[in-house]
């Protein structure tokens, strides 16, 4: 069970995050608001009616069943939304955060951070201690946000997780996904919620498995030490559009190295602004 003080402090941290980003974050449950959330997410993903991520009817059923649909508003306009449902794994109940998005004109304004802190507070209030979701590990800004800004850990890798996707963001690319786990009461998550920046990441002495020139070396994983490094490009979304063959090489290189590291028991626990994932093996040195 979640300690009451943990849930209360999470609520306060969420309120501070919302105030700092100039938005109001609330649960959405009325049909008009759910329609707005579905439309916003479809617009962010550049999706048509066939490929839209969620429907308002699905969101209505989800909220009725006790799932999470949160939204951030600015001057009465819905500018971000997040959708999650209850799940279970070998460690018990969790919230699976299926999709979260921020309107393009308000990105880089900490709105996403405020939305996730609201989700964290809600989950702790429900007695949940973990949130899990997937993301494209080649998208550096998402990786940095998840690991450095929120204090999560990448615990798995799934090639072609969704199969073929046809929305405007993912069309033409494989749907490889990293599995990220957010331990909501871990010291790093609590520090992140309090507004503390990530600790400096030490790169010296680690084994490089994916270099900044795109050359991957999965064989380096075998017999490596406690720490591995893998670099990802700054903007793979633009690369996919302008240089699809190069983006494809990055996809395959990351699949071979990142995927091998996950299979061998490493966990991605750090991410630098310059694009380096830092992997550690459980039982190794202290977390970066």
Residue 287 has a pLDDT of 43
Task: Give the DSSP H/E element, type plus range, for residue 132.
Answer: strand 130-135
Residue 165 has a pLDDT of 74
Exposure b/e, 51-90, CB count within 10 A at least 16 = b: ebbbebeebbebbeeebbbbbbbbeeebbbbbbbebbeee
Our measurement of the distance from residue 198's CA atom to the centroid of its chain's CA atoms, rounded to an integer in Å, reads 16
Q: Are 225 and 120 part of one and the same domain?
A: no
Q: Are 17 and 69 part of one and the same domain?
A: yes
CA angle 232, 236, 237 (to 5 degrees): 155
Residue 286 has a pLDDT of 45
Residue 168 has a pLDDT of 61
Is 258 part of a structural domain of the chain? yes
Task: Give 218's DSSP letter.
Answer: G
Is 271 part of a structural domain of the chain? yes
Separation of alpha carbons 137 and 241, rounded Å: 17
Number of domains in the chain: 2
Q: Are 74 and 96 part of one and the same domain?
A: yes
Residue-range definition of the domain harbouring residue 215: 207-280
Angle between helical axes of 4-21 and 111-125 (0-180°, round to 10): 160
pTM attached to this predicted model? 0.92
Task: Give 204's DSSP letter.
Answer: T
Is 33 part of a structural domain of the chain? yes
As averages over each run of 10 residues, the pLDDT of the chain (288 residues) reads 83 97 97 98 91 95 97 97 96 96 95 98 97 96 96 95 75 86 97 85 87 81 86 93 91 92 94 94 59
Is 162 part of a structural domain of the chain? yes
Q: Are 58 and 109 part of one and the same domain?
A: yes
Q: Are 29 and 132 part of one and the same domain?
A: yes
Q: Are 146 and 226 part of one and the same domain?
A: no
Cα separations (Å) of 92 from 48, 57, 87, 157? Answer: 36, 28, 8, 20
Q: Are 62 and 19 part of one and the same domain?
A: yes
Is 288 part of a structural domain of the chain? no
Is 202 part of a structural domain of the chain? no
Across the strands, what pairs with 183? 130
Of 193, 219, 239, the domain-final residue: 193
Task: Give the DSSP H/E element, type plus range, for residue 16.
Answer: helix 4-21
Q: Are 69 and 159 part of one and the same domain?
A: yes
The 3-state DSSP composition of the chain as helix, strand, coil percent (nearest 5) reads: 35, 25, 40
Q: Are 79 and 124 part of one and the same domain?
A: yes
Of 136, 170, 193, the domain-final residue: 193
Q: Are 59 and 189 part of one and the same domain?
A: yes
Of 171, 193, 215, the domain-final residue: 193
Residue 228 DSSP SS3: strand
Task: Give the DSSP H/E element, type plus range, for residue 44.
Answer: helix 31-44
Q: Are 164 and 255 part of one and the same domain?
A: no
Q: Are 228 and 145 part of one and the same domain?
A: no
Is 276 part of a structural domain of the chain? yes
- Phi, psi dihedral angles at 244 (to 5 degrees): -60, -35
Half-sphere exposure of 271 (CA within 13 A, CB side): 26
């Amino acid at each position: 069970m979640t300690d009451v003080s943990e849930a209360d402090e999470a609520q306060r941290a969420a309120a501070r995050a919302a105030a700092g980003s100039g938005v109001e974050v609330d649960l959405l449950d009325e049909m008009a608001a759910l329609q707005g959330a579905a439309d916003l997410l479809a617009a962010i993903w550049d999706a048509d009616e066939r490929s839209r991520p969620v429907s308002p009817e699905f969101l209505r059923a989800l909220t009725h069943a006790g799932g999470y649909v949160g939204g951030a508003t600015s001057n009465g306009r819905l500018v971000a939304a997040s959708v999650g449902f209850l799940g279970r794994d070998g460690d018990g109940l969790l919230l699976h955060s299926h999709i979260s998005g921020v309107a393009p004109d308000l990105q880089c304004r900490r709105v996403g951070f405020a939305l996730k802190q609201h989700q964290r507070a809600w989950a702790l209030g429900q007695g949940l201690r973990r949130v899990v979701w997937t993301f494209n590990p080649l998208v550096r800004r998402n990786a940095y946000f998840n690991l450095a800004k929120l204090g999560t850990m990448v615990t798995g890798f799934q090639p072609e997780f969704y199969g073929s996707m046809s929305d405007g963001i993912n069309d033409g690319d494989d749907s490889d996904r990293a599995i990220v786990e957010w331990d909501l009461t871990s010291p790093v998550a609590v520090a992140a919620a309090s507004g503390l920046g990530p600790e400096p990441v030490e790169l010296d002495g680690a084994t490089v498995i994916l270099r900044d020139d795109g050359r991957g070396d999965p064989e380096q994983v075998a017999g490596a030490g406690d720490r591995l490094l893998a670099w990802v490009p700054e903007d793979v979304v633009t690369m996919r559009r302008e240089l699809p063959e190069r983006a494809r090489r990055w996809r395959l290189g990351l699949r071979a190295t990142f995927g091998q590291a996950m299979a061998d028991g490493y966990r991605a626990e750090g991410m630098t602004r310059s694009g380096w994932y830092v992997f550690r093996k459980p039982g190794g040195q202290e977390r970066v």
